[in-house]
Amino acid sequence: MEWLKLAFGAGPAGGAGVQTTVSKRLLITWSVMIAAVMQIVDTTIVVVALPHMEGSLSATPDQITWVLTSYLVASGVFMPLTGYFSDRIGQRRYLAVSIASFMVTSALTGLSQSLDQVVLFRLLQGVAGAALMPLAQSVLVRAYPPEERGRAMAIFGLAAIVGPIIGPTLGGYLTQVASWRWAFFINIPIGLLALAGAWFYVPDTPRRPRRMDWSGFLYLFFALGAMQFVLDRGTEYGWYSSPAIVVATVLSALGYGLLMIHAGTATGPGILDLKLFKDRNFAISNLVFASVMFNLFGVLTLQPMFAESLLGIPVLTTGLLLAPRGVAAAASMQFAGRMLNRFGPRLLVLAGILFAAVGTLAMTDYDLNVGLWWLIWPIILQGLGMGLVFVPLTALAFATLPPERTTEAAGLRQLVRTIAASVGTAASTDLTTHYAQQDWNRLGGFITPFNPALQRYLAPFSSSPDRLQAALVGRMLGQQAQMAGLVHVFELFGFALLATMPLLLLIRPGQDYLGTGGKAGSKAPQHEGGHEPV
């Protein structure tokens, strides 16, 4: 495979950009990719540890997801500052500062003794690591000549997709052999390795003055921060019966409104270039991409909770159960990359959505007696679907954009990814709690002394105290209500994916999405980094 050849130093060393030898490019690649993968994996490494963290921190299922969403939102809000600080202090220094800060905040998160402390340090961890992915991409673009950059971005793209998917497997292993705290402590030795590579091998860039759109940043901060507060605390606060939720909703809407007005009227470079959405292919690809990320992170949050809390599967086994998703995604990404110009993005994305949707809807047949194979094969289908979707959507997003606008487009695309992942994570737990409460009330209506099914269930415990029998019935009722709530959410997420399929009809055909001149003789413009990874 081409990305493996690149990883081991294949290819010429000359060309534009930073002139480096093959061996030095290899060291640069591994140095920045260690840092990037560390940040990417941390988006999901604690997923399988969440049930264990609930007990340790005395948190409810909807509260414990703040550990995920605080990290995602902080990363999304502060990612646009990467270019500003890179110019002000230099690329190598900023990369080193980001890695060191990420290590410190990871250690503080692992040492936390309460949910509030975990969420606070997790938020700071997101701030510290926000620049690691765009910095890694920027370093690779500068280190490789134009003819090698496409393959360099293939490595980056593979890490960006597979990283969040293998995170639960690693988190499950660390939680099983040590504790959930090691899901954060593991960043210390990895961070030291990345820090050494960044300082000794990553070339620096000259420092120069840079204007920052602080007004746009402030609007973005209020828009995302207040929105996430509503999603995270809505269930706990009783949604719009709470003044705090009402105020946060108004602040979020005001932030988004001011951000759009500011982006549309700004004369200089702003924090976001919303005019990019005038490009039809870019807009459609991001809409479909948001739906896929919403589904991926929502389902990825619920599956470990279901396996560990309801089925009683050990945390390490749960992590291993989720691993086939990453393997399947990597395989289908390779296929999609080779077949993109042959079939075009529309057919590949359609197939990917169908695979992912069938895998998600298959989980609506889950019950408390589900077998191992029924747990695995929907996960494999979801992985195949994700890989088929991501590659063509990435190429589609940049196929019709002018080369000089692709840097801003990449930042906007990353923001869409972060928002969709954060909303999917929060919505999955909120909706599960909502539906479980409904099903508790519905199923509770059948709990009467005159129900023959209940009499048969309690017959073996007829000699036990009434309190024990009531506890048994309550436990069974809670499990069944939780299971029914999960089934409702899986169904909703599956149909949400299918609902994006009509958007594919709006894709503008006839492009050469890989820049090889192989489709209708046209050649899509290429930006300096090759295809932007998702």
In terms of residues, how long is the chain? 534
Question: Do residues 473 and 447 touch, judged by C-beta distance below 8 A?
Answer: yes
State the alpha helices, DSSP H only, in 144-213. 146-177, 182-185, 187-201
Per DSSP, the three-state class of 223 is helix
- Give the Cα separation of 321 and 183 in Å (integer): 18
| pLDDT value for 150 | 56
Distances (CA, A) of 171 to 106, 316, 352: 14, 8, 27
Nearest to 98 by CA among 185, 187, 217: 187
Per-residue tens of pLDDT for the chain, all 534 residues: 443 343 333 333 333 344 457 777 788 888 888 888 888 888 778 777 777 787 778 777 777 778 877 888 888 788 878 777 887 888 888 889 999 999 999 999 989 888 888 889 998 998 898 888 878 877 877 777 766 655 666 667 666 666 776 777 788 888 888 888 888 898 899 899 988 888 888 887 777 777 777 888 888 888 888 888 887 777 777 778 888 888 988 998 998 888 888 877 766 666 777 777 888 888 888 888 888 888 888 888 888 888 888 888 887 788 788 888 878 888 888 788 777 778 778 888 899 999 999 999 999 988 888 888 888 999 999 989 888 888 788 777 777 777 656 656 766 777 788 788 888 888 888 888 888 888 788 777 777 777 777 777 777 776 667 777 777 777 788 888 888 889 999 999 999 889 888 888 887 765 555 554 444 333 433 333 333 333
pLDDT at 452: 78
**Closest-CA residue to 489 (of 275, 294, 310):** 294
Taking each helix axis as running N to C, give the angle between helix 406-444 and helix 214-237, from 0 to 180 degrees, rounded to the nearest 10.
Answer: 10
pLDDT, tens only, 253-277: 998 888 888 877 766 666 777 777 8
Residue 500 parent element (H or E): none
Q: What is the pTM of this model?
A: 0.73
| Segment (H or E) for 283 | helix 280-305
- Residue 214, CA distances (Å) to 127, 153, 221, 257, 292 in order: 16, 30, 10, 16, 31
In angstroms and rounded to an integer, the radius of gyration of the C-alpha atoms of the chain is 24
